[in-house]
Amino acid sequence: MRTLKAVIVEDSRLARNELKELIKAHQEIEIVGEAENVDKGFKLINEKKPDLLFLDINMPEKDGFELLEMLDEVPITIFTTAFDEYAIKSFEYNAFDYLLKPIDQKRFTNSIKKVHQNLNTKVLSKSKNDSALSLDKQIFIKDGERCWLVKIQDIFMFEIVGNYTRVFLKNTSH
């Protein structure tokens, strides 16, 4: 199993410590940094380029969704929050998983196993030509007040409409 670089973005020191304790059982995960707010998290993610992001949603000033919107490249994101009402919205942002606090060790371990399975699948299917916009990468799309992170592989077509670009997916366009 390859080592995964991870970043924790969580405003609560106690919650960050809880995550670090859960991660200790997974020697293949290396915590390369932690941040207590979105701005510090943004800087850390761009600097460290983690494989995995443990992200709280409710934080002072900006929330976890705003952080994802700021990023050009979004790592595998596991939301860690005390609020279940953001679960559906988190998957609109292509969250890999959504863990409710206090986080159960077994649930955490299952999530990490799924991360490894996902990465192993990507490694097996990855082409030799690793381009800047490979199929597994995501782009940020804004349509009015709504926002999405969309995988390149889900895009069917682009259409130029005046000053805008319409993005066509299987069943929708933005």
Residue ranges of the chain that CATH labels 3.40.50.2300: 4-125
pTM higher than the cut 0.85:
no
Using an 8 Å Cβ cutoff, are 75 and 63 in contact? no
Q: What is the pLDDT of residues 92-101, one digit of tens each?
A: 888 899 999 9
pLDDT at 168: 87
Using an 8 Å Cβ cutoff, are 142 and 164 in contact? no
More confident residue, 160 or 123: 160
Residues 6+ apart with CB under 8 A from 58: 11, 64, 81, 82, 83
pLDDT at 133: 64
Residues belonging to the chain = 174
Question: Which of the following CATH numbers is that of domain 4-125: 3.30.70.1230, 3.20.20.140, 3.40.50.920, 3.40.50.2300?
Answer: 3.40.50.2300
